[in-house]
Amino acid sequence: MNVETLDELIAKNKVYCSMGANASYIPALASVNPNQLGISLYHIESKELISAGDALVKFAIESMSKVPALLLAIEDNGLTTVLEHINTEATGFAFNSPLNMEINHDKHPLNPFVNIGAIETTSLIKGNSPDTRFSRLLTFVKEICHDESISLNEEIYESESKTGDINRSLAYYLKGNHMLSGDVDSILEVYFKQCSLNVTTVNIAMMASVLGNKGVKPWDNKRLISEESATLVKSVMTTAGLYDESGEFSAHVGIPGKSGVGGGLMGVAPNKYGIGVFSPPLDKSGNSLAGMKLLKDVVEELSLNIFN
């Protein structure tokens, strides 16, 4: 794949920017320029990075942060313990629905990528204050994205926190079901902050490449996470990374993916590429519309569908 082909695919799919809508329930996301589409691909074997379009624009990581948060919770507690708290089941409900915990017999969150499961995940990150837990997560995100400059977007954080009543209700619901240990406000502070990190498509491509390379950072060949946890996370991304649209995404794109309401989309082509995509307008499930179309074209062009 060369940059010219990527430029062509961006030009082809840009039309979809006008067919979705920015997330509006977080006011700071509503004001982002909707007419943006960018992509980065990091090739695991050659360590070559190619980018096109709005690849270097900074945007809020949002739900893609649920991936590093889960990886850190697994490093902190072990996979078995994390899976005692959170299931690995698909959902047919919106990402912020309380039904994502109600519709199962054991009253555990259905998976770590719906909000109720992600809040549970964040509560499992170790540290004796919200500051310590957030700073441990930020250090981990910087490492897995290979970028020391990643930082908190204060405006998004304030907006998230001010309008976060659904997430508050999910956290109290967890607490009422004896699923959260610790102070609800402190856990939500870390959750809102993790969603408000500024990233680029390059950062997301790097993170995806670590998952694609079985937990070893391709750029320095050092292991960051266990192979077991990389495998588990990729499989949950395949069944639940795009919420109630995960089945469609698997059927029509065909690689493990994770979206965020900031317009980001992460794709993992195992042993081949880490991919980061960005385009703010979302479809009804909260996934980047142009981003998914572009990723589908790139996966086809490079024959990356894992089910082929």
Query: From CA 159, how far away is CA 78, in angstroms rounded?
Result: 33
191 is an active site residue: yes
Q: Give the CA diameter of the chain.
A: 54
Is residue 12 annotated as a catalytic residue, yes or no?
no
> Which of 26, 4, 7 has the alpha carbon at shortest distance from 280?
26
Q: In this complex, which beta carbon is closest to ligand GLN, that of residue 166 or of residue 302? A: 166
**Between 215 and 276, CB nearer to ligand GLN:** 276
Compare residues 114 and 255 and give the one whose CB is closer to ligand GLN. Answer: 114
Q: How far is the CB of 160 from ligand GLN (least distance, A)?
A: 5
Of 114, 191, 288, 296, which residue is the catalytic one?
191
- Find the catalytic residue in 16, 40, 42, 63: 63
> Could you list the residues that contact ligand GLN (CB under 6 A)?
62-63, 95-96, 115, 160, 167, 195, 260-261, 286
Residue 106 C-beta: closest distance to ligand GLN, Å = 23
Q: Which residues are documented as binding site for substrate?
A: 63, 115, 160, 167, 191, 243, 261
Of 51, 66, 196, 272, which one is the catalytic site residue? 66
**C-beta atoms surrounding 23 within 10 Å:** 21
- Dist CA 235 CA 295 (whole Å): 18
- In the annotated binding site, the residues are 63, 115, 160, 167, 191, 243, 261
Closest residue by beta carbon to ligand GLN: 63
Report the nearest approach of ligand GLN to the CB of residue 82 (Å): 20
Rounded CA-CA distance 218/70 in Å is: 20
CA distance linking residue 53 with residue 278, whole number of Å: 9
Strand order of the β-sheet with 273-278 is 49-53, 38-43, 273-278, 264-269, 257-259
Nearer to ligand GLN, 114 or 294 (CB): 114
Contact 266, 64 (CB under 8 A): yes
In whole angstroms, the minimum distance from the beta carbon of 199 to ligand GLN comes to 13
Task: Let me know if 165 is exposed, middle or buried by CB neighbors in 10 A (0-12, 13-18, 19+).
Answer: exposed
Active site residue 261: yes
Residues noted as catalytic? 63, 66, 191, 243, 261
